[in-house]
Amino acid sequence: MGNRSWQGIIWAVVTVALLLSMMTPFIIFTVSFLMVPVLMLYVKSSTKRFVLMYVLSLLIVYLLTGLHGIFLLSVSLFFLPPVLVMGNLYKRKAAARTVVTSGTVTLLAESLLTLVIGYLLGFDPISKFKQFMSNYVTTMPSGLRELLPNDHDWYVNLMVQVIPLYLILFALFYAFVSHGITRWFLNKSGEGIPGLRPMRERMLPKSFVWIYLIAFVLDLFIDPASNSLLATLLMNLLPILVLAFAIQAICFLFYIAHANKWKPILPIVAIVILCFMPPFLFIYSLLGVFDVAFPIRERFKKNL
């Protein structure tokens, strides 16, 4: 029990440190890990101790930062629901896929609820974001501004239309990062939390292939400058599908490396290329589509 008490204190201190780091340049490195110490504190503590340590952490942050602390507290409280959802699943030793999915859905639902509450209170977050983007484009250095489309208003409107995509990627990013790091710490402390399936074993449903093909064909006939509902849907759906199938391609390369008993150099090189050459994303996605649509893995097994 004493060991758990010390662990709770340590993770409470880390929670305070990460929140305070948001007022420093270190925010670039620490903002991705805000859920981790709170998750650890929740899993390694009883409910009463968690409430006590978490409230005490927020109180310390507020006392050290004054009015700025209100913003920091709001950020921490925003991430609290997914922490509780994922933390309860960790305590039940739920499957990793369930944990990540639940965390993603909770974050996405919270984001949408925040937008709705903003509208109800007379604050239009979409308009504020559009104004911010317009000001940002206007103040950009001329060299960078020349890289953008000539019609800056169209570019700004495009950024606004893909807000759902931002929210989905935001939720996925935080759920995956938080799960990966928290699971590592929990397993180091003897919890035995299940992990996701190896990359080589992952496979998207075949229905995704039809969705991808239909979306791709529709995109050929939709004016990108259109503000229609269908155009907005495609703008948000296609990048997600392309990214999903690009990841599927990486999974296929991991499978090839494993089947041939190679070191995973091939998929690692592919990931590095993708990081430095994003246009390859579409090419990778085609490989992912073939991997899902056709039994190339089975034929590959026969040739071994």
Whole-number CA gyration radius for the chain: 22
295 and 226, same structural domain? Answer: yes
In a domain? residue 164: yes
Q: Which two tokens stand for residue 111?
A: 């984001």
Q: What is the pLDDT of residue 224?
A: 66
The answer to whether 181 touches 100, Cβ cutoff 8 Å, is no
253 and 179, same structural domain? Answer: no
Q: What is the pLDDT of residue 144?
A: 64
In a domain? residue 210: yes
Q: What is the pLDDT of residue 303?
A: 60
In a domain? residue 173: yes
In a domain? residue 16: yes
Q: What is the pLDDT of residue 14?
A: 93
155 and 201, same structural domain? Answer: no
Hey, how many other C-beta atoms are within 10 angstroms of the C-beta on 213? 13
In a domain? residue 189: yes
Cα(156)–Cα(177) distance, integer angstroms: 29
- What torsion, rounded to 10 degrees, do the Cα atoms 43, 49, 55, 60 define? -100
295 and 244, same structural domain? Answer: yes
Cα(77)–Cα(100) distance, integer angstroms: 19
107 and 70, same structural domain? Answer: no
260 and 274, same structural domain? Answer: yes
Mean pLDDT per segment of 10 residues, for the chain of length 304 residues?
70 92 88 94 91 94 85 92 95 92 94 84 75 73 66 70 87 94 91 86 90 88 74 86 93 88 87 85 91 82 62
In a domain? residue 84: no
Cα(170)–Cα(111) distance, integer angstroms: 10
**How many structural domains are present in the chain?**
3
Q: What is the pLDDT of residue 100?
A: 94
Q: Which of 196, 217, 232 is the last residue of a domain?
A: 196
Q: Which of 176, 196, 216 is the last residue of a domain?
A: 196
216 and 158, same structural domain? Answer: no
In a domain? residue 33: yes
Q: What is the pLDDT of residue 147?
A: 63
215 and 125, same structural domain? Answer: no
In a domain? residue 205: yes
The answer to whether 29 touches 76, Cβ cutoff 8 Å, is no
Q: Which of 55, 78, 101 is the last residue of a domain?
A: 78
Q: What is the pLDDT of residue 35?
A: 95
Residue position matching structure tokens 């155009």? 231
Q: What is the pLDDT of residue 200?
A: 87
pTM of the model: 0.84
Cα(55)–Cα(216) distance, integer angstroms: 49
56 and 99, same structural domain? Answer: no
227 and 176, same structural domain? Answer: no
Cα(211)–Cα(205) distance, integer angstroms: 10
102 and 71, same structural domain? Answer: no
239 and 187, same structural domain? Answer: no
Q: Which domain holds residue 72?
A: 1-78
Phi, psi (rounded to 5 degrees) for 204: -70, 150
From residue 289, how far is each of 57, 145, 159, 213, 286 by CA, in Å? Answer: 47, 35, 27, 9, 5
